[in-house]
Amino acid sequence: MTNMRFAILGTAKIARTVAPKIHSAAGAELLGIASRNKESAQQFAQEFSVPRTYGSYAAALDDPDVDAVYLPLPPSLHREWTEKAAAAGKHVLCEKPLARNVDEADQMIAVCQEHNVVLMDGVMWYHTARAAGIKKIVDSGQLGELRQLTSVFTFRWDTMPMENLRMHRDMGGGSLLDLGWYCVGVTLWLLGEMPQQVYARANWCNDVDVRLNGFLWFGDEESGQRTVATIESGFDAVRRRWVEVVGARESLVCDDFTRPWKPDRPRFWTHDGDGDSTEHCIPHQPQEECMIEAFCDLIRRGQTDHPWLRLSRKTQFVCDALDRSARSGNVVDLENVHPHKEQE
């Protein structure tokens, strides 16, 4: 199996987590690191044993030996550098959120498909064996008819750091796109459908949501059997990252779905109505490696239109609707927003 050769565009904190896992992932090779500051690229290369450095992002795209790029850039730069990478024939692993809004996401998807390159967002946990185990139980009907899905992702800043990109709307900031992206994504993935309506309220600072609570309604209102999902994201509460799926017979709880608290024990529980529970522990390799190997597999299969990309687009679409609701104070009917895009 020939290795997929990666270059990383930027030396952001998350790049320091992903870089060693590109080295260790099967079928992948970290060839180069690009930075607008040549010294920064050289320091990164020395620390992570990267053979090539580039003094600009464009220089990495010009390297004919690079097959794919990883973009740990601010969301405001995702569209620009995804489009430039695609035009250069490079596959793109792009940090989440995919874009600042669904219009930008659609442009990115269109350009990548025009140039026949794979685009995938950087949500890692989807690609683990534990995630597959959770999905299998939900899809099996073991929980019974689904009634409620609740997901939460928060962490705490004592003081909002105004210099941080998350505090600037024009850079793609806010807790919804930073943390709620995971909550919306797990909701859509596990329920396997789009909501009919959403509603959200938020606390604001510098025109970004620093805390957001959202409701999503699924199914036919007239039947009286609608499934409800709630999400919570925020920069002002203790670190939490859990999801609960509630059925008529059982519930499933994972208290660390985005990243295991204990990497050697990725786990979740199922509970019945009598207080009995079952712990499910499904070990897997580091989730960064799982993501990179899944991305490389898509490249080898030439699968530019794949389920993870469709999920990313739907996640972006629902995040747009939640943001619109939080800003307007109104329920947003998704059937009246780009209806032709989401009838897949």
Task: Please identify every residue annotated as catalytic.
Answer: 96, 182
> 27-56 in b/e burial notation, b at 16+ Cβ within 10 A?
ebbbbbbbbeeeebbeebbeebebebbbbe
Handedness of CA 298, 301, 303, 308 (dihedral sign): negative
- The 8 Å CB, 24+ separation contacts for 167-173 are 167/205, 167/206, 167/208, 167/210, 168/206, 168/208, 169/206, 169/207, 169/208, 170/76, 171/74, 171/75, 171/76, 172/74, 172/75, 172/76, 172/78, 172/97, 172/99, 172/100, 173/75, 173/208
Structural tokens at position 168: 């600037």
